[in-house]
Structure 1
């Protein structure tokens, strides 16, 4: 970045201030030109474990019951909501059936 430019570029400033960032293996699956930005952002939040599940709300000091709103049988977390909750798996199974694909319970190693 030691070059002087006559033209200001916000992207160059951002990369200079941020420094070197390591490449993640899942970025091309999340950020595609054909994807809906809202869906990509939600997927990014899930991968980063930043969605506001009840376990995170409690860690922020918000008074909510820890139990999963969908199944009422376990504490709500990202892993529970997406891979362990039987109710959400049944919903995903119905969607997968209409898309002619088989749902799996993989993805816990995000």
Structure 2
């Protein structure tokens, strides 16, 4: 899917935060994990050494150990060099471990996200959108609205997705975020009923004013505040 392809594009960035702690070699790929002084055998020497050893791509580091000693085949210059380089790496009975950012820290999606995301300044409407009692799809829709990112018809007609920018509720006006949520007669009636449920009596405001009103009034844990 598109989402997974985009996630996979982040692999080089994520790799910078991984720390490989060498142990007994049972878990690390002989060819593709960066266990050799921060690099993988494949990156350093290519595919030829894989062929020269006679081992498949699924080989583990432990496959190059014999009775606790390194034992790389001495059939090519690259393999001789690898044998010389690994002689300084002690063989352990501990398990291979991968840490995130520093030794002792395990991987979590939250730590990964905090490490690779582009940070920006805090916004004053954060608690309006991401409050503890949020319904995720509602919060996401509100987040899009505040950022002006909803694909309303006034935007879709520009890129040729639709042939008309008229409101989907057939009121005859141009459909924009402002109109769709707060100016269309259909939406206005819905908002009046919602405000009535919250015992709030006031006019429906323009979008920017509604956001400001929410920031000032949507505080606390009461039902009407969360709603």
- TM-score bracket for the superposition, by shorter chain length: 0.7 to 0.9
- Give the deviation of 1:71 after TM superposition: 4.8
**RMSD (Å) for aligned C-alpha atoms:** 2.4
User: Is 1:57 aligned to 2:145, yes or no?
Assistant: no
Q: Which is further off, 65-74 or 100-109?
A: 100-109
Contact 1:83–1:108 (CA under 8 A) maintained in structure 2: no
Quote the residue 1:67 is aligned against: 166
Q: Which is further off, 88-97 or 72-81?
A: 88-97
Q: Deviations over 1:64-91 (max 9, x none)?
A: 3111122523210001112332332122
- 1:99 corresponds, among 182, 194, 198, to 198
Aligned residues: 109
Give the TM-score normalised by the residue count of structure 2. Answer: 0.42
Quote the residue 1:108 is aligned against: 208
User: Is 1:25 aligned to 2:151, yes or no?
Assistant: no
Bigger Rg, structure 1 or 2: 2
Q: Deviations over 1:40-59 (max 9, x none)?
A: 11111111112221112223
Quote the residue 1:80 is aligned against: 179
Kindly indicate which of the two structures has a greater share of residues assigned to strand: 2
Gaps of 5+ in 2: 1-16, 18-100, 212-227
Runs of 4+ in 1 over 4 A off after TM superposition: none
Q: Distance in 2 between matches of 1:56 and 1:76?
A: 9
